[in-house]
Chain A
Amino acid sequence: MNNVVQGLQLMPISYYISFCSILFVIGMIGVLIKRNALVIFMSIELMLNSINLLLAAFSVYHNDPAGQILVIFIMVVAAAEVAVGLSILVVTYRKNNSIDVNLLNQLKG
Chain B
Amino acid sequence: MNTLAALVPILPLLSFLVIGLNFRRLPKPVTSILACGSVLVSFIFSVVLFFHIKGGNPTVNVTLFEWIPAAATSLGFSFVVDPLSSLMLLIVTGVGFLIHVYSIGYMHDDEGFNRFFSYMNLFVFSMLVLVLGSNYLMMFIGWEGVGLCSYLLIGFWFKNQAYNNAAKKAFIMNRIGDLGFLLGMFILYVQFGSLDYQTVFAKASLLESGNLILTIATMLLFVGAIGKSAQIPLFTWLPDAMAGPTPVSALIHAATMVTAGVYMVARSHALYILAPATMMVIAVIGITTALFAATIAIFQNDIKKVLAYSTVSQLGYMFVGLGMGAFTGAMFHLTTHAFFKALLFLAAGSVIHAMGGEQDIRKMGGLKKALPITWLVFLAGTIAISGIPPFSGFFSKDEILLHAYEQNKVIWVLGILGSLMTAFYMFRLFYLTFAGMFRGTDKQKQHLHESPKSMTIPLIILAVLAVAGGLLNIPAVFGGSSSLNTFLSPIFGSGVEPVGEVSYGTEILLMSIAVIGSLAMIGFAWFRFVKTATIPVTDGIKRPALSNLLYHKYYIDEIYQFLIEKPVLWLSDIMHLFDVYVIDKTVNFVGNATVWLGKQSGFLQTGNIGFYLIAMVLSIVAFLVFGLMI
Contacts and interface: CB of A to CB of B under 8 A. Distances in A.
A and B held together in a complex? yes
Contacts of A104: 607, 609
A108 B607 contact: yes
Interface stretch (B260-268, B554-562, B610-618): B610-618
B607 A107 contact: yes
A37 to B, nearest CB: 9
A67 B605 CA distance: 39
A28 B617 contact: yes
B503 interface: no
B614 A32 contact: yes
B604 interface: yes
Interface in B596-627: 602-610, 613-614, 617
Contacts of A12: none
B613 A107 contact: no
Interface string A26-41: 0010011101000000
Contact of B610 (A28, A102, A108, A109): A102
A42 interface: no
Contacts of B606: 105, 108
A105 B611 CA distance: 11
A36 to B, nearest CB: 12
A102 B607 CA distance: 8
A102 B608 contact: yes
B156 to A, nearest CB: 59
A107 B609 CA distance: 11
A102 B617 contact: no
A104 B613 CA distance: 13
A32 B614 CA distance: 6
A107 B613 CA distance: 15
A34 to B, nearest CB: 9
A109 B605 contact: yes
B610 A101 contact: yes
Q: State the main secondary structure of chain B at its contact with A.
A: helix
Contacts of A109: 602-605
Interface in A64-109: 101-102, 104-109
B617 A32 contact: yes
A105 B607 contact: yes
A109 B607 CA distance: 8
The contact size tier of chain A is 10 to 19
A19 to B, nearest CB: 20
A26 to B, nearest CB: 13
A104 B605 CA distance: 12
A33 B610 CA distance: 7
A52 to B, nearest CB: 19
Interface string B447-482: 000000000000000000000000000000000000
A92 to B, nearest CB: 11
Nearest to A100: B609
Contacts of B608: 102, 105, 108
A109 B602 CA distance: 5
Contacts of A28: 617
A109 B606 CA distance: 7
A28 B613 CA distance: 9
A105 B607 CA distance: 4
Interface in B565-589: none
B602 A101 contact: no
B609 A102 contact: yes
B613 A108 contact: no
A103 to B, nearest CB: 10
A35 B611 CA distance: 12
Nearest to A34: B610
B610 to A, nearest CB: 7
Nearest to A29: B617
Given A28-B617, A32-B614, A32-B617, A101 B605 contact: no
A91 to B, nearest CB: 16
A29 B196 CA distance: 81
B628 to A, nearest CB: 15
Contacts of B609: 101-102, 104-105
Nearest to A106: B607
B395 to A, nearest CB: 88
B614 A107 contact: no
A109 B614 CA distance: 18
A28 to B, nearest CB: 6
B594 to A, nearest CB: 14
A57 to B, nearest CB: 20
A106 B606 CA distance: 10
A28 B614 CA distance: 10
Interface in A8-36: 28, 31-33, 35
Contacts of B604: 109
A36 B608 CA distance: 13
Contacts of A106: 607
A33 B609 CA distance: 11
Contacts of A107: 605, 607
Contacts of B613: 31-32
Nearest to A28: B617
A32 B605 contact: no
30 contacts: A28-B617, A31-B613, A32-B610, A32-B613, A32-B614, A32-B617, A33-B610, A35-B610, A101-B609, A101-B610, A102-B608, A102-B609, A102-B610, A104-B607, A104-B609, A105-B606, A105-B607, A105-B608, A105-B609, A106-B607, A107-B605, A107-B607, A108-B605, A108-B606, A108-B607, A108-B608, A109-B602, A109-B603, A109-B604, A109-B605
Given A109-B602, A109-B605, 6 more contacts: A32-B610, A32-B617, A101-B610, A105-B608, A105-B609, A108-B605
Report the 7 A-B pairs with minimum CB-CB distance, sorted nearest first: A108-B607, A105-B607, A109-B605, A109-B602, A101-B609, A108-B605, A32-B613
